Structure 1
Amino acid sequence: MTTSTHYISTYCHITPQQVSVDGVVLHSNTSETFENFLKQLYKEHNCRYPKFFKMDTMSKLAFMGAEFLLKSAKEATTEVQNTALVFSNKSSSLETDRKHQESIASETEFYPSPAVFVYTLPNIGIGEVAIRHQLQTENAFFVFESFEANFLQKYTVSLLREGKCNSALCGWVEVDKTENHGFFYLVEATGKWQHTEKNITTFYNKI
């Protein structure tokens, strides 16, 4: 296991049922769908980013996860602008890919929808986060069969040690027919928990 002098300062789960930060439930879903729940969260937090409503569900999930953790970091006067983004999931942009394919196959449409096509790459979501928070640091999106705490820990440590960022927002943003789950954690120079594979895995499993 790669050791690190950095810490996990906070973490967040967003599921179809609720939002929790550091294990404390902050919001419960009163909407019928996961996407409507994300819209509910957006409105409750008065985010003021109109492009949100044009995003696909995965990008909305990434956006709201960043809102919960980076907004708190800003309020704590943390230097958010030098935060790297390291995200992952297992189904890539499959949900949006299906919608894109449906538009191609539709006999009533002459061409695919550009608004859908733009989100057929999984890294578009972190691009939205970077624009929202004016981040110009490293960002990467990985696709795994399952959540890879070991890889994410090592990769994040390498970014921090090489001076490519001062902090990192890591996220698991899975949106598909069988799973809708966002898990996010912020790695900084100071914090509550050591940035280890064991702690990342423990927090990931605390849904």
Structure 2
Amino acid sequence: MSNPYKISNFVRIRDQRIFHGEKKLFSCEEATHLKRFLKESYKFLNISYPKFHKMDALCKLGILAAEVLFKNMEIPTDTALVFSNSASSLETDKKHKILMEATVSPAVFVYTLPNIVLGEISIKHKLQSENAFFISDKFNAGLLADYSEILLDTSKADAVVCGWIEWKNAEYDVFLCLISKEGEVSFSEENLEELYRFENE
């Protein structure tokens, strides 16, 4: 028996572009460095959130993706977050290791856990919900679908944002989906995989 849940919405951030669903929302081909792309995306989305500028790139990517995903929507405060990647917080870990040789920086240390991005999104959008961050070798649609469905079936969440958020060696790859009972695309491992692969081709 199929579940009653739908992929209500999704966002893609990759290769200097932001997609909202299948529509290209923003492109900045000249922003070949992630730092510039993040800055230009922040301006384009008209975000006013000073804390953004103190975050590491993984958290900035999460904030940008959530901003697109939640735009013009009433988001339940119990919307769960279920994210995954392969690199954890490796880029910030490397920066922290270099800084440790001279001095300890709490501003950098706080981002040496990948799940900090979940906290930053929760704070900005006032979510009081379940969250989990899994480390996988590659995008694992089955894991994300199973865990999200459990949260929904057990009424621990009215909606779930699940997906992949990677920042590694200056490359970035973000694919987040909003799962709820509203929408046209059925929520399944196969459909998650298909959406992720299609946008990655």
TM-score (norm 1): 0.91
Which secondary structure does the structure 1 equivalent of 2:124 belong to? helix
Q: Which of 105, 129, 142 does residue 121 from structure 2 map onto? A: 129
Is 1:116 matched up with 2:108?
Answer: yes
Letter matched to residue 63 of structure 1: I
Is 1:13 matched up with 2:12?
Answer: yes
TM-score (norm 2): 0.94
Stretch deviating more after TM superposition (91-100 or 164-173): 164-173
Between the two proteins, what is the percent identity of the paired residues?
41
**Alignment correspondent of 1:50:** 50
Is 1:143 matched up with 2:135?
Answer: yes
Which secondary structure does the structure 2 equivalent of 1:48 belong to? coil
Gaps of 5+ in 2: none
Count of residues in correspondence between the two structures: 198
Contact 1:9 1:192 in 2 (8 A): yes
CA distance in 2, matches of 1:3, 1:40: 41
CA distance in 2, matches of 1:47, 1:71: 11
Gaps of 5+ in 1: none
**What CA deviation, in whole Å up to 9, does each residue of 1:3-24 have, x standing for no partner?**
4210001111101321111121
CA distance in 1, matches of 2:198, 2:18: 12
CA distance in 1, matches of 2:44, 2:171: 24
Letter matched to residue 46 of structure 2: N
Is 1:195 matched up with 2:187?
Answer: yes
**Alignment correspondent of 2:32:** 32
**Alignment correspondent of 2:84:** 88
Letter matched to residue 18 of structure 2: V
Letter matched to residue 133 of structure 2: F
Contact 2:10 2:178 in 1 (8 A): yes
CA distance in 1, matches of 2:172, 2:70: 21
